[in-house]
Chains A and B, each alone.
Chain A
Amino acid sequence: MSSPEWKNPVIKWVDTRLPVFSLMHHSTAGYPSPRNLSYWWNFGSLALTVLIVMVLTGIFLVMNYTPHVDMAFDSVERIMRDVNYGWLIRYVHMNGASMFFIVVYVHIFRGIYYGSYKGPREILWILGVVIMLLMMGTAFMGYVLPWGQMSLWGATVITNLFSAFPIVGDFIVTLLWGGFSVDNPTLNRFFSLHYLLPFVLFAVVGLHLWALHSVKSNNPLGVEIKQPEDAIPFHPYYTIKDLFGMSLFFMFFLFFVFWAPNFFGEPDNYIPANPMVTPAHIVPEWYFLPFYAILRAITFDFLWIIPAKLGGVLAMFASILVWIALPWLDRSKVRSARFRPVYKWFFWVLVADFVFLGYLGKMPAEQPYVIMAQLATLYYFAHFLVVLPLMAKLEKSVELPESIAAAVLKKGDA
Chain B
Amino acid sequence: MRKLIIAAVAALTMSMGTAQASGEYHPDFKEASWSFEGFFGRYDQAQLRRGYQIYSQVCSACHGLRLLSYRNLSDLGFTEDEIKEIAAEKSVRVPHDEVGAELNDDGEFFTREAKPSDRFVSPFPNDAAAIDANGALPPDLSLIAKARIGGPHYVYSFLMGYAEEIPEEVSSQKGFTVNEDKNFNLYYPGYYNSMPSQIYDEMVEYEDGTPMTADQHAKDIVAFLNWAAEPELDERKSLGLKVMLFLLVLTAMLYALKRKIWADVKH
Contact = CB atoms under 8 A, between A and B. Distances in A.
A35 B266 contact: yes
A19 interface: no
B244 interface: yes
Interface of B: 3-4, 7-8, 10-11, 13-18, 21-23, 39, 67-68, 72, 142-143, 146-149, 151, 189, 229, 231-232, 236-237, 239-240, 243-244, 247-248, 250-251, 254-255, 257-258, 261-262, 265-267
Given A258-B236, A412-B266, A102 B7 contact: yes
A379 B167 CA distance: 43
Interface stretch (A56-64, A244-252, A309-317): A244-252
A289 B3 CA distance: 22
Contacts of B21: 281, 283, 362-364
Interface string A173-202: 000000000000000000000000000000
A248 B254 CA distance: 10
Nearest to B260: A240
A244 B251 contact: yes
A362 B4 contact: no
A156 interface: no
A55 B132 CA distance: 46
Given A244-B251, A250-B247, A286-B15, A87 B232 contact: yes
B239 A88 contact: yes
Interface in A53-82: 74, 77, 80-81
Given A36-B267, A286-B14, 13 more contacts: A237-B265, A247-B251, A254-B243, A254-B244, A259-B240, A261-B236, A262-B146, A267-B146, A286-B11, A355-B10, A359-B17, A363-B17, A364-B23
Contact of B237 (A258, A263, A364, A411): A258
A304 interface: no
5 contacts: A244-B258, A259-B237, A280-B22, A366-B23, A408-B266
A232 B229 CA distance: 52
Contact of B13 (A37, A258, A271, A355): A355
What's the dominant secondary structure at chain B's contact region? Answer: helix
B149 A267 contact: yes
A264 interface: yes
A254 B21 CA distance: 28
Contacts, number: 126
Contact of B251 (A91, A251, A358): A251
Nearest to B238: A258
B241 to A, nearest CB: 8
Nearest to B38: A259
Interface of A: 35-37, 39, 74, 77, 80-81, 87-88, 91, 98, 102, 232, 236-237, 240-241, 243-244, 247-248, 250-252, 254-255, 257-259, 261-264, 267-268, 270-271, 280-281, 283, 286, 289, 355, 358-359, 362-364, 366, 408-409, 411-412
B255 A264 contact: no
A167 to B, nearest CB: 36
B232 A359 contact: no
Contacts of A250: 247
A409 B266 contact: yes
B151 to A, nearest CB: 7
Given A87-B236, A362-B18, A268 B147 contact: yes
A88 B243 CA distance: 12
